Amino acid sequence: MSNAIKILPHYTYADYVQWEGKWEVIDGVPHAMSPAPVPGHQIVAGNLHSEFRAQLKNCKKCQVSQPVDYLVADDMILQPDILIVCKPIIKKYLDFPPTLVAEVLSPATALKDRHTKYAIYESQHIPYYLIIDPDKKEVEVYALSDDKYQLMQQGKDFKYSFIIEDCIADVSFGEIWD
């Protein structure tokens, strides 16, 4: 057995912007985001975006967005399925924590979304984290309390009131499945 030390590459945002395709980088390790999400995933994400957009259309500060680069650190770049930000994004990427993040699970990303990204979003003090399982047609709403996420509500068809800045978004999750 060799005493050789295995050196693993460590990538940063400067490397990331040179790559083709869709990627995330977590602790310097690249994660491919392919193949593209299946149609059911995209339908749920689009419908959720529409629900939040309709609820926040009169909010002057907050914007609902589909994937944009969220630069958590130089070696950590994430692309949440949906996010809400309540101040302008000046750069080519988001460099501050959003107010809400939603991840739509797929078999390839479920473990990362439920554990790795959950811990990252919690450590960044993102007030709301939604995990959506399109196969089970189930939503988990987590809210930050005392620096930890608490499961606030879970189910297929319920309404939840999000307090986002000075606005309230009453989202009906039963509407996102069709």
**Per-residue pLDDT in tens (0 to 9) along the chain, 178 residues:** 556 666 778 999 999 999 988 899 999 999 888 666 677 788 999 999 999 999 999 998 999 998 899 999 999 999 999 999 999 999 999 999 999 999 999 888 899 999 999 999 999 999 999 999 999 999 999 999 999 999 999 999 999 999 998 899 999 999 999 7
What global pTM score does this model have? Answer: 0.91
In angstroms, the CA 33 to CA 109 distance is 9
Query: Residue 78's beta-bridge partner residues?
Result: 70
Residue 4: its pLDDT value, please?
A: 63
Q: Own/partner pairs for 117-125, CB < 8 Å, 24+ apart? A: 117/78, 117/80, 118/142, 118/149, 120/26, 120/72, 120/76, 120/78, 121/149, 122/147, 122/148, 122/149, 124/72, 124/97, 125/97
Residue 35: its pLDDT value, please?
A: 62
* Domains with residue ranges and CATH for the chain: 37-176 (3.90.1570.10)
